[in-house]
Every structure is written in C-alpha cells, then in structure tokens.
Amino acid sequence: MEQHNRTDGPLVHRRALLGLPVAVVCGSALTACGARTTDAATTAERIEPVTPPEDLMREHGVLKRVLLIYREGVRRIDTGGTVPTVELHASAGLIRSFIEEYHERLEEQYVFPPLVAAGKLTDTVTILLQQHQRGRTVTGRILEATGTTPSAQARRALAADLTAFVRMYEPHEAREDTVVFPALREVVSADRFNEMGDIFEAEEHRRFGTAGFAGVVDQVADIEKSLGIYDLAQFTPRA
Ligand SMILES: [Fe+2]
Ligand SMILES: [Fe+2]
C-alpha cells in the first residue's frame, strides 16, 4: 500500500501532539523517547496542514493516472487487442465518484465562485464549467460502453471517447493547477482559505470513509497492476 498523509499526516499529528504534554506522550519512558518526540513535535508544528490547492492538485494526480489508464485502453483498441472493459469500467466509475461528484463539486462550490465574484478568470471558469459538464456526458458513454463486450463499431466509439476525455482533461487540470488554484489565494481571506481545507477534509472522509484519498489511490494502483502499467521503471527511457 502506498503512503499518504491525509488521515494520519501532519494535521492529525499536530493536533494530537499539541493537546498533550510530552510526559503523557512518552509515558514512563521519558529518557528513552523524550528527545525523539520533541523532534517529531517540532517537525509536525513546522509542517502546515494540507492546503486546498494541494488537496485539489493531488486529486488531479488521481485524474492523471486514470488518463494514463484510458491511454492504455486506446492503445489496446488501436492495436486490435481485447478491450479491457473491466479496468476501464472501474476507472470510469472512479472518475464519476471521485472526480465528477467530489473534486469538481468542490471546485464548483468553493473555488470558482470567489474568483467570479472578484472578476478574475471569468472566461476561463466558464469554459472549465462547460468541460465539467461535457466530461460527465462522455463518462456516461464510457460507463455504458464498458458495461458489456463492445462491438467493432462500439470499440471505435469507445476509443474516440477515451481519447476526447484525455485531450480535454490534460489542459483542463493543467490550467487549474497553474492559473486557477494559485489565483484562489488572492481572492479569499486567510481564515476562509484555512476553513476550506477543513471542509475539504471532512467531505473527503464523509464520501470515502476513513481510507479517504489513500483508498482511492489504492484502487487506481490495483487497476494499473491489472493492466501491467503500475511498475514505474517501465517508463524510463533507455540511456
Ligand atoms: Fe475542473
Ligand atoms: Fe480540477
């Protein structure tokens, strides 16, 4: 299982450690653990909790990994191979539950409105909203097409939808990462910015349980393993 820091990361450590005197944390083994715990507490206090943009950007990492799965699906269709319907269906399901019904809802509810209210990036936000809608339509078709073994005609239509989805979401998420999320800092107060971080975390666990983000990443990794594209080293070019 990969390592993630949402539930047991700096935020929780900081809250837990700040509420307890060192003697309670160390119990009776003060001499054995005192210095190390002090170091850990100091480190945890120095590390800020996950900020809203960092949270949204690592969700984009999940999206990017699904786009790589979609590319693999297209490659197999284009080379006449078997359509990996089970993996593609599971991936589209993650796009629906994690990206469309969670990540994009956060953007639509908390990120875009303050930008529009401030008169910033209004044209960009309009396009991003249109793309959210179009993405949901395409995902609906991908879910339907991968729910069964597709015909030759359906294979071509599926490849076209997967390709269109990748083509739209690569620039979409890149624009959000580099332009939209940085601009958010300029239009919301520090208190609101921090409050949004707490709201995002609460919503993540309400929807995805205690495993939260880490559980979703594990699901993506399992799909990658099933397709043989999990091993990172395979993507390193020969020297
Ligand atoms: Fe978006
Ligand atoms: Fe996004």
In 10 A of CB 55, how many CB atoms?
Answer: 20
Q: Residue 21 has what pLDDT?
A: 34
Instruction: Compute, in angstroms, the gap from residue 222 CA to the centroid of ligand 2.
Output: 23
Taking only the tens place, the pLDDT of each residue in 53-100 is: 999 999 999 999 999 999 999 999 999 999 999 999 999 999 999 999
Which listed ligand is nearest to 60 at the C-alpha?
A: 2
22-228 homologous superfamily: nmb1532 protein domain like (1.20.120.520)
What ranges do the domains of the chain cover? 22-228
For residue 218, how far is its CA from the centre of ligand 1 (angstroms)? 22
Write out residues in the chain with pLDDT < 50, as ranges. 1-37
CA separation for the pair 105, 210 (Å, rounded): 20
Answer whether 177's CB lies under 8 Å from 60's CB: yes
pTM for the whole thing? 0.81
Q: What is the pLDDT of residue 57?
A: 96
pLDDT at 18: 32
Q: Which ligand is nearest to the CA of 134?
A: 1
The residues near 84 (Cβ < 8 Å, ≥ 6 apart) are 72, 73, 76, 226, 227
